Amino acid sequence: MLLGVIADDFTGAGDIANTLAKGLPGQGGLVVTQYLGVPKVKADRSVEAGVISLKTRSSPVEDAVEQSLAALEWLRNQGCEQFVFKYCSTFDSTPEGNIGPVAEALATALGVKGVIACPAFPTVGRTVHQGHLFVQDRLLSESSMRHHPLTPMTDSDIRRWLAQQTRDPVGLVNTEIVRSGSGAVRSALDAAAADGATMVICDASLDDDLVTLGRAAAGHRLITGGSGIAIGLPANFLRSGKAAGAVTAFCGVDGPEAILAGSCSATTRHQIAVHAAGHPIMALDIDAAMAGRLDVGAILEFAAAHRGNAPLIYSSDDPLEVERLQKRYGREKVAETLDDLFARTARSLVESGVSRLVVAGGETSGAVAQALDLDALSIGPEIDPGVPILIGGKGRIALALKSGNFGAPDFFAKALKQLQQGQMK
């Protein structure tokens, strides 16, 4: 294994696994495996990039640091020479963490400073200018991320946001330097390190900027960012002859299906509305769930009754209703109860024969994937930007774990079809 990725959520892990497997057009990517949690056994020797999915984005800081260091240790033991800490392209975090504390702990363990921090993912409209993060044509703090249930993003100046979470000062490499080439970026990172910065926000608004950053990162022990930061990394390993690259055949999975949505993002709620126009949907009663009165049996009956017609079960709601529930029961308690509900539902669905499962939301996907005990997933073709088909488990389950904000309006129906049909990549 050459490259090790520590991802702070499960959908983000799939996102970067997809980027590494694809590589640059015409150049190809790496042989990638996505692990669910820190594996207990050694990796297969064929794996060139290992992506460890953690569920640490919203966990207490100390837990996030401990789990990330455990992941680093395992990846080091597999021989990795470079490590990526993958977080969200909308920089999901709170003033306490977890991006800053985890990144500084990894940097200390690896003995490095002047580390790239770049959440940009231009394909889905996330760009960084003078250290400010944009979602399409809006500043992050003016996008729907302002109302995120767990990590409301109220400051677009991610240098200032990150500085609240870090011990060391945070540096900036702006667009002018990035457009001057990888040599200029390397010098700027060295200068920031000499000034004491561990984390250095790097501007990027085009894939070409990310390719430049990727080239500048060749030989760096640690890189941090969204999946975009990985665009240029496979080429470094292919160019040096260390990696042979990936050619993978993928066959679809034919079997019963279900869709679970816990994301409350505007994108997911729109996708649910589009799906509802032609398919059965079931809204979960959160008050009943909080009172322990929500029966998984009723969800299974709904899924079984609508087998073949893409049944969707969701908790997703608008910001006002989310706020009401969080005020009434407490944010953590709601998240814990819904994670548990989705986990039990997914396990029962798979036990009842479901073998194609689409899940919306990083926390929700984490709860589901952990409940299914899948260990390692292979990466299939991309459904929409940032969302690959994933295959795993003894019974061969096909999954699409969708980040809350990703996917076209008709994502749910399209994903189920692609999980079934498969295609060569």
β-sheet bridge partners, residue 317: none
User: What is the Cα Rg of the chain in Å?
Assistant: 20
Spatial separation of the C-alpha atoms in residues 298 and 46, rounded to whole Å: 43
Tokens of 365: 């996907």
Is 415 one of the binding residues for ligand ATP (CB under 6 A)? no
Least distance (Å) from ligand LCNOYBR7 to the CB of residue 16?
7
| In contact, 159 and 201? CB cutoff 8 Å | yes
β-sheet bridge partners, residue 24: 28
| In contact, 259 and 283? CB cutoff 8 Å | no
Residue 325 interacting partner from ligand LCNOYBR7, ligand ATP, none (CB closer than 5 to 8 Å by kind): ligand ATP
Is 12 one of the binding residues for ligand LCNOYBR7 (CB under 6 A)? yes
Q: Which one of 100, 101, 149, 380 is in contact with ligand ATP (CB under 6 A)?
A: 149
Residue 208 interacting partner from ligand ATP, ligand LCNOYBR7, none (CB closer than 5 to 8 Å by kind): none
| In contact, 345 and 301? CB cutoff 8 Å | no
For 113, other C-beta atoms within 10 Å of its C-beta total 22
Is 392 one of the binding residues for ligand ATP (CB under 6 A)? no
Residue 350 interacting partner from ligand LCNOYBR7, ligand ATP, none (CB closer than 5 to 8 Å by kind): none
Residue 127 interacting partner from ligand ATP, ligand LCNOYBR7, none (CB closer than 5 to 8 Å by kind): none
Residue 263 interacting partner from ligand LCNOYBR7, ligand ATP, none (CB closer than 5 to 8 Å by kind): ligand ATP
Count Cβ neighbours within 10 Å for each residue of 313-328 and write b for 16 or more, e otherwise.
Answer: bbbbbebeebeebbee
Which of 64, 59, 94, 96 has its CA nearest to residue 367? 59
Spatial separation of the C-alpha atoms in residues 89 and 411, rounded to whole Å: 20
What mask, x for binding ligand LCNOYBR7 by CB under 6 A, covers residues 100 to 139?
---------------------x------------------
β-sheet bridge partners, residue 281: 312
Spatial separation of the C-alpha atoms in residues 339 and 226, rounded to whole Å: 24
Q: Which one of 118, 158, 233, 264 is in contact with ligand ATP (CB under 6 A)?
A: 264
Selected range binding ligand ATP among 30-38, 129-137, 271-279, 315-323, rule: CB under 6 A: 315-323
Closer by beta carbon to ligand ATP, 235 or else 335: 335
Which of 88, 93, 349, 395 has its CA nearest to residue 226? 88
Amino acid at 365: S
Closer by beta carbon to ligand ATP, 182 or else 326: 326
* # residues near ligand ATP by CB under 6 A: 25
Q: Which one of 15, 48, 257, 339 is in contact with ligand LCNOYBR7 (CB under 6 A)?
A: 15
Residue 334 interacting partner from ligand ATP, ligand LCNOYBR7, none (CB closer than 5 to 8 Å by kind): ligand ATP
Q: Which one of 9, 104, 207, 382 is in contact with ligand ATP (CB under 6 A)?
A: 9
Residue nearest to ligand LCNOYBR7 as judged by C-beta position = 12
For 425, other C-beta atoms within 10 Å of its C-beta total 17
Least distance (Å) from ligand ATP to the CB of residue 339?
6
In Å, how far are 197, 391, 395 from 422, measured between CA atoms? 46, 11, 17
Which of 28, 1, 67, 41 has its CA nearest to residue 366? 67
Closer by beta carbon to ligand ATP, 165 or else 263: 263
Is 386 one of the binding residues for ligand LCNOYBR7 (CB under 6 A)? yes
Residue 399 CA to chain centroid, in angstroms? 14
Spatial separation of the C-alpha atoms in residues 33 and 244, rounded to whole Å: 15
Selected range binding ligand ATP among 24-32, 34-42, 164-172, 322-330, rule: CB under 6 A: 322-330
| In contact, 114 and 200? CB cutoff 8 Å | yes
Is 98 one of the binding residues for ligand LCNOYBR7 (CB under 6 A)? no
Least distance (Å) from ligand ATP to the CB of residue 245?
29
Percent of the chain as helix, strand, coil, to the nearest 5: 40, 20, 35
Give the interface with ligand ATP as residue ranges (CB under 6 A).
Answer: 9, 11, 149-150, 262-265, 286, 315-317, 322, 325-326, 334-335, 338, 361-364, 403-405
Give the interface with ligand LCNOYBR7 as residue ranges (CB under 6 A).
Answer: 9, 11-12, 15, 88-90, 121, 226-227, 362, 386, 403
